[in-house]
A and B are shown apart, each in its own frame.
Chain A
């Protein structure tokens, strides 16, 4: 596993670099766009910040394309649902990019209830030479106009503007936990606790419900949907995970309402580790198809599992993220950490998977060499451009130097969201209100 160079990019103009962290600045989602040129973050305050990679220059080859702020906009505002007398949080739960088709960039961002399609484009020209207005915008008196001219486009300062092109609302009773763009690039799904809805990107007043697991009697509810994703190549296939640790693969061609699955993935429970917390820790917090479309990765509280879509009985690989927490489940239940939803990501070639943990640690697993590494996203413990040192959590009795004991882990510092560049070894990791970007070391 190659080591990484630390290039933290915490832009002071937006992600405030103070010792205290206001709640609104906490990053709630990160996502690279399909080319890797842009990186979007969403936060609890409903804002989206888009970073753009610098063009590499010959004069400074060591500055291999750092990310700078490209655009900032308020995506969602706090709302009040008058019917239910409930406030709807503006926190951005997920951002998903659309593939680029012209000069503008498009992304979908969602909070608990509403999905929005944003168009981000650059404007470096503006029209000048109006007849009825002067350059400052003041209306000219008609008597002062002696000749007519045609306005022309002049070069102006580069401006990046974001506009909301579509608002998809009123389709979800429960909280949206995921969105996923289809490989046809015309439709997408939005998923809440009990339903999956299919939208056309052009149509905002209609959506089709394709999965509904709401029981007739809500008191019979024992399972909820935790995440859903479209297959990366097959536009008719989607998968969704549940709070009971199972994954269902659905084919939309079979029937309109995909309540019955095509495939059902679940690993039988190991009776030797059964406890009252077994169900909670088996709840899947994230699913991701591999880029190849052959595998599916799931994250539950203690492990990451890789499933072969052709084998439903058990995963092909299981990686322990932080098994030393198994003996602490009661405390973690008490302080609610057991409900933390960690995400997981594939690298571009599907050979390495990454997920977050506590104490600002994140873990990478190489599927081929079977090696794994624990790294830390922390300003105190690593200098810019220094190679990250692998960390280790001490589980036995004797603690070696530089090891961290389980009891000294900071459970308030958790890495829930991260993303991997689609082609290169660049990762972005969100730790509370800070964004860390790590790159391969320059050889």
Chain B
């Protein structure tokens, strides 16, 4: 590994001549780091897109062009994550994290969680921007079907004062197949074109410092008072057993969750 105190840089993999057998490990460890930071950034982009879609619907007159562009971006990310296998990892990790929570039925707002596939729907590989307005409030807009789906599946729906993305961590998950279907809809990936496997360099050309700024921005939004759900979430992130080795990414995902929630509740 790198000697202590050395500042890690992207370009270091080739520059540092390591002694002995470290040569073999260095490029791969750097690659892993690069990959995980890329995943982080991709994840934050996904989260941001989902928030935008949700906010789109809170507007009086949603802009169809904007919604379509954001939805396409979300789908693109999800396709890539599915091909990486990251999608499944995330889903499993979060399901496991759910199972650990022992609290009462405090409702959490967890936007991106609902877009992770449950095992039940994995086969379909669908993703749909979720409805932002509960069934009572939302008129059946023809033009908004792409992002709004009437919740005709029956069952008592949470009242609209609570975000319909409510997620009960304990007991029967809202993330059962019914909800998942409502949420995911039918954006089928019909012929998943083999995504061009871009070289890492190409991917990293997007990665710019602004991502980190973004994270700072998100972390900076600490103005929302801590509420029950946040405590719950923090307990989740600390208790959640991560059966997989990517515990770091799971925890960071939950931190992302935290940030996202603060934004939503704070807004």
Interface residues of A (CB under 8 A from B): 84-89, 112, 173-175, 177, 193-194, 217-219, 221-224, 226, 243, 271-277, 279-280, 283, 327-331, 333-334, 336, 339
A-B contact pairs, 17 of them (CB 8 A): A87-B60, A88-B61, A89-B61, A175-B64, A193-B143, A222-B71, A224-B68, A243-B68, A273-B205, A283-B69, A328-B208, A330-B45, A330-B210, A330-B211, A331-B210, A333-B48, A334-B214
A175 touches B61 (CB 8 A): yes
Q: Is the CB of B106 closer than 8 A to any CB of chain A?
A: no
User: Which residues of the other chain, A, contact B139 by a CB distance below 8 angstroms?
Assistant: 84-85
Closest residue of chain A to B44, judged by CB?
A330
B193 at interface by CB-CB < 8 Å = no
Complexed CA–CA distance, A217 and B128 (Å): 13
| Neighbouring B residues of A334 by C-beta, 8 Å | 48, 214, 217
Distance from A23 Cβ to chain B, minimum over Cβ atoms (Å) = 15
Min Cβ gap B61→A in Å is 6
If the complex has contacts A174-B143, A279-B69, are A272 and B202 also in contact, measured as CB distance less than 8 A?
yes
Q: Is B65 at the interface (CB under 8 A from chain A)?
A: yes
Q: Which one of B72-80, B83-91, B236-244 is at the A interface?
A: B72-80
B217 cross-chain contacts in A, Cβ below 8 A: 334
- Taking the closest CB of chain A, its distance from the CB of B171, in whole angstroms, is 31
Q: Are B143 and A173 in contact (CB under 8 A)?
A: yes
**What is the distance, in angstroms, from B244's C-beta to the closest C-beta of chain A?**
25
Contact A276 B73 (CB under 8 A): yes
Instruction: Tell me which of A86, A276, A280 contacts B77 (CB under 8 A).
Output: A276
What 15 additional pairs, Cβ within 8 angstroms, besides A84-B139, A226-B65?
A88-B61, A219-B186, A221-B68, A223-B68, A224-B64, A272-B202, A272-B205, A275-B205, A277-B206, A283-B69, A330-B206, A330-B211, A333-B48, A334-B48, A339-B63
Contact of B68 with A271 in the complex, beta carbons under 8 Å: no
Write out the residue numbers on chain B whose beta carbons fall within 8 Å of the beta carbon of A279.
Answer: 69, 72-73, 76
Q: Which of the listed residues B45, B71, B143, B144 has the most CB atoms from chain A within 10 Å of its own CB?
A: B143
Closest residue to A89 on the B side, CB-wise?
Answer: B61
Residues of A within 8 A of B210 (CB): 327-328, 330-331
- Expressed in whole angstroms, the minimum distance between the Cβ of A343 and any Cβ of chain B is 15
Residue of A218, A222, A277, A339 near B142 (CB, 8 A) is A218
What is the CA–CA distance of A221 and B129 in the complex, to the nearest angstrom?
13
User: What 6 A-B pairs have minimum CB-CB distances, sorted nearest first?
Assistant: A218-B145, A275-B206, A331-B210, A193-B64, A221-B146, A218-B146
Does B187 have its Cβ within 8 Å of any Cβ on chain A? yes
Whole-angstrom CA separation of A243 from B68 in the bound complex: 9
Q: Could you tell me if B68 and A112 are in contact, using CB atoms closer than 8 angstroms?
A: no
Residues of A within 8 A of B187 (CB): 219
Docked Cα-Cα span, A200 to B176, in Å, equals 54
Task: Tell me if B213 counts as interface (CB < 8 A to partner A).
Answer: yes
Q: Whose C-beta in chain B lies nearest to the C-beta of A221?
A: B146
Contact between A274 and B198, CB atoms less than 8 A apart: yes
With beta carbons under 8 angstroms apart, the residue of B48, B69, B185 that contacts A339 is B69
Cα–Cα distance between A329 and B213 once the two chains are bound (Å): 13
* Residue from B64, B69, B206, B208 whose CB has the most chain A CB atoms within 10 Å: B69
Q: Which A residues are CB-close (under 8 A) to B141?
A: 84
Q: Is the CB of B68 within 8 A of A330?
A: no
Contact residues in A for B64 (Cβ distance below 8 Å)? 174-175, 193-194, 224
Q: In the complex, what residue of chain B is closest to A225 when comparing beta carbons?
A: B65
Provide the residues of chain B in CB contact with A339, threshold 8 Å: 63, 65-66, 69
Across-interface contacts of A327 in B (CB, < 8 A): 208, 210
Q: Is the C-beta of B156 less than 8 angstroms from some C-beta in chain A?
A: no
Residue in A174, A219, A276 whose beta carbon sits within 8 Å of that of B206 in the complex: A276
A218 near B143 with CB under 8 A, answer yes
Task: Output the nearest chain B residue to A173 by Cβ-Cβ distance.
Answer: B143
Question: Given A218-B145, A276-B76, A193–B65 Cβ distance below 8 Å?
Answer: yes
In the bound complex, residues from chain B placing their C-beta under 8 Å from that of A84 are 139, 141
Does B20 sit at the interface, judged by CB under 8 A? no
Cβ-based interface call for B196 (8 A): yes
Complex: A331 Cα to B41 Cα, angstroms: 12
Q: In the complex, which residues of chain B have a beta carbon less than 8 angstroms from the beta carbon of A277?
A: 73, 206
B223 CB to nearest A CB, Å: 18
Q: Of A193, A276, A283, A331, which is in contact with the most chain B CB atoms at under 10 Å from its CB?
A: A276
Write out the residue numbers on chain A whose beta carbons fall within 8 Å of the beta carbon of B143: 173-174, 193-194, 218
Chain B residue nearest in CB terms to A226: B65
Chain B residues, CB < 8 A from A222: 68, 71-72
With known contacts A219-B186, A327-B208, A334-B48, A243–B214 Cβ distance under 8 A: no
Complex alpha-carbon distance, A87 and B185, angstroms: 28
Complex contacts, B61 vs chain A, CB 8 Å: 86-89, 112, 175
- Bound-complex Cα distance A173 to B72 (A): 22
A280 touches B69 (CB 8 A): yes
With A and B bound together, what is the CA distance between A174 and B146 in angstroms?
Answer: 13
Known: A173-B143, A334-B214. A271 touches B69 (CB 8 A): no
Interface string of B193-226 (1 = CB under 8 A from A): 0001010001101101011011001000000000
From B63, B145, B196, give the contact of A274 (CB < 8 A).
Answer: B196
Contact residues in B for A226 (Cβ distance below 8 Å):
65
Report A139 CB to chain B, min CB distance, Å. 48
Shortest beta-carbon distance from A216 to chain B in Å: 11
Across the two chains, which residue of chain B brings its CB closest to A222?
A: B72
Residue picked from A224, A273, A334, A336, most chain B C-beta under 10 Å: A334
Specify which chain A residues have a CB less than 8 angstroms from the CB of B128 in the assembled complex.
Answer: 219
